[in-house]
Chain A
Amino acid sequence: MIRSSDPARQNSDWPTDVPGQVSRILVDLFELDQDAVTPDARLREDLKLDSLDGVDLVVALEKHFKCLVEEDMVKKLRTVGEIHAYVVARLASRSS
């Protein structure tokens, strides 16, 4: 019973930059150690995330950033830094 939520509405210390927000979503949704969620951290090997977590990550990102996140693309991402880059690019393409 772990629901994706939008912690930005609940916390005053919510990051202002997109990569910081993505990392914070990872920390909150998957109950990760904040220090472990570095750009180089590998999703499967280091953070122990699996395919079901991938489904929930897509939901959380879509809800927070209000944009369509392509599941097939997210499945190919290997590190936290790659998710940062994907979301930044996705938001840039939306605004353009």
Chain B
Amino acid sequence: METVVITGIGLVSCLGHDLGEIAAALRDGRSGIGRDAGREALGFRSALTGVIHGFDPAAVLSRKERRAMGEPALYGAVAALRALKDAGLPRGTLARPEVGVIIGNDTAAEATRWAVDETRAAGTTRTLGSAAVVEAMTSSPSMNLSVLFGTRGACWTVAGACASGAHAIGQAAMLIASGQQDAVIVGGVQEINWAGMCAFDGLGAFSARAGDPTESPRPFCAERDGLVPSGGGAILVIEGLRHARARSARIRAILRSYAFSSDGDHLTTPHGDGARRCMRRALDLAQLSPGEIEYVNAHATGTVAGDAMEAAAMRDVFGESSPPISSTKGMTGHECWMAGASEIAYSLLMAEHEFIAANRNLGPIDPACAGLDLVEVFRPQRPRTILSNSFGFGGTNACLVLEALP
């Protein structure tokens, strides 16, 4: 089996655009959360959201490249350009059957809302134009990226709820490990607009905490009251080790394992057994004992049930030797479809800059989440072996284990 390595990362995040800027935000515990007055006017239960500033896709993509890109594809395309640059992989080398695109995404809500509203208002579909159909497809990001870069291999989108990005990385890794692809542009995207979040808000899962928006969400905290929706794009370049070495690429990390499981139990409430099995399977596949993990990037979103479930599962898996654990969602909010990919990127930035990010807004730890090494203040230590958890609605679970290289 071919060893799978990560050679490039690119982000469009509420923490910033430049990797150094994002690393500094993670180290300093800065929040990317704000309040959207438009959501209050629409009757949302919560107006809290991740806010992306200074996003200008027209600066790097031509009109024709952008014309069939909705918000998710735009985030993905800009993040992918950044990832390719980080990987030192020229666009001109991608037009081969051995190079593919796999993206985690689970909605195209705003594009669909626009097409439906326009059709009703105009009384015809004549006014929808050429791009509406492509924009309104969940696979819009992967098809747009494949056309943008001319890749000739894998081209599809993985929809696995809030584990979409992690499942996409795992699937791409399997294609590389089995020799079917040399390199895959892979990751996750998440639209941040109100249409993409209104149904989630209706479920009552969002934090409705009043006051300073940056004080939400609060993963693992006794005072947590729900997640804060967020989004953007997180793209990685992953390659076979031989392919990366042949072009003398900088290798950021070895992807030691990908494991998946499902709860098969409840549509929106996590069970815990699936998470436990998934973490243990990921450790087995990585041939690591629990005590060898040096950092866990937790899924913890700030919901009462989800954080307690994950904490219990981690106590079972790690026993008395809890590794340092943090949820970066205290800073970013829940980047949903993108989170499984963005949290790999955030973890690798920690490794590169030799620190472990703290749990922002931790406050008093919930007794249900106690018994773990929940990081309260950033630690100046480089995590080498990293486990990243992603758990989604429907009980879909994904765990990735990385070995970050100096």
Residues in A lying within 8 Å of B, measured CB to CB = 1-4, 30-31, 48, 50, 52-53, 55-56, 58-59, 62-63
Say whether B74 faces chain A, with CB atoms less than 8 Å apart: yes
Interchain CB contact (< 8 A) of A59 among B64, B71, B74, B126: B126
Which chain A residues border B63 with CB–CB below 8 Å?
2, 30-31
Flag if A2 contacts B67 (CB, 8 Å).
yes
Which chain B residues border A3 with CB–CB below 8 Å?
114, 129
Flag if B127 contacts A2 (CB, 8 Å).
no
- Known A1-B74, A1-B135: A56·B129 in contact at CB below 8 Å: yes
- Within B356-384, the residues touching A (CB, 8 Å) are none
Say whether B168 faces chain A, with CB atoms less than 8 Å apart: no
- Shortest A70–chain B CB gap in Å is 12
Give the size range of B's interface with the partner: 10 to 19
Say whether B130 faces chain A, with CB atoms less than 8 Å apart: yes
Flag if B127 contacts A62 (CB, 8 Å).
yes
Say whether B35 faces chain A, with CB atoms less than 8 Å apart: no
Say whether B70 faces chain A, with CB atoms less than 8 Å apart: yes
The total number of A-B Cβ pairs within 8 Å is 40
Flag if A2 contacts B66 (CB, 8 Å).
yes
Flag if B70 contacts A63 (CB, 8 Å).
no
7 A-B Cβ contacts within 8 A?
A: A1-B66, A1-B111, A4-B127, A31-B58, A48-B64, A52-B130, A55-B130
Flag if B129 contacts A1 (CB, 8 Å).
no
A22 to B68, CA, bound (A): 23
A56 to B129, CA, bound (A): 5
Flag if B126 contacts A56 (CB, 8 Å).
no
Flag if B135 contacts A56 (CB, 8 Å).
no
- In the A-B complex, the 7 residue pairs with the smallest Cβ-Cβ separation, listed nearest first, are A52-B130, A55-B130, A31-B63, A56-B129, A59-B129, A2-B67, A56-B130
A48 to B130, CA, bound (A): 16
Which chain A residues border B348 with CB–CB below 8 Å?
none
Say whether B205 faces chain A, with CB atoms less than 8 Å apart: no
Interchain CB contact (< 8 A) of B127 among A1, A48, A52, A63: A63
- Known A1-B74, A1-B135, A2-B131: A52·B67 in contact at CB below 8 Å: yes
Known: A1-B71, A55-B130. 7 other contacts (CB 8 A): A1-B66, A1-B131, A2-B67, A4-B129, A53-B130, A56-B131, A63-B127
Interchain CB contact (< 8 A) of B129 among A30, A50, A55: A55
Flag if A1 contacts B69 (CB, 8 Å).
yes
- Known A1-B66, A1-B71: A52·B126 in contact at CB below 8 Å: no
- Shortest B147–chain A CB gap in Å is 12
Closest to A48 in B: B64
Contact flags B74-100 to A (C-beta < 8 A → 1, else 0)? 100000000000000000000000000
Closest to B71 in A: A1
A59 to B128, CA, bound (A): 8
A58 to B111, CA, bound (A): 20
- Shortest A20–chain B CB gap in Å is 22
Question: Which residue among A1, A2, A48, A50 has the maximum number of chain B CB atoms within 10 Å of its CB?
Answer: A1
Which chain A residues border B131 with CB–CB below 8 Å?
1-2, 52, 56
Contact flags B120-159 to A (C-beta < 8 A → 1, else 0)? 0000001111110001000000000000000000000000
Which chain A residues border B130 with CB–CB below 8 Å?
52-53, 55-56
Closest to A55 in B: B130
Flag if A1 contacts B126 (CB, 8 Å).
no
Flag if B66 contacts A59 (CB, 8 Å).
no
A31 to B69, CA, bound (A): 16
Which chain A residues border B64 with CB–CB below 8 Å?
48, 50
- Shortest A3–chain B CB gap in Å is 7
Which chain B residues border A50 with CB–CB below 8 Å?
64
A45 to B112, CA, bound (A): 34
A50 to B250, CA, bound (A): 40
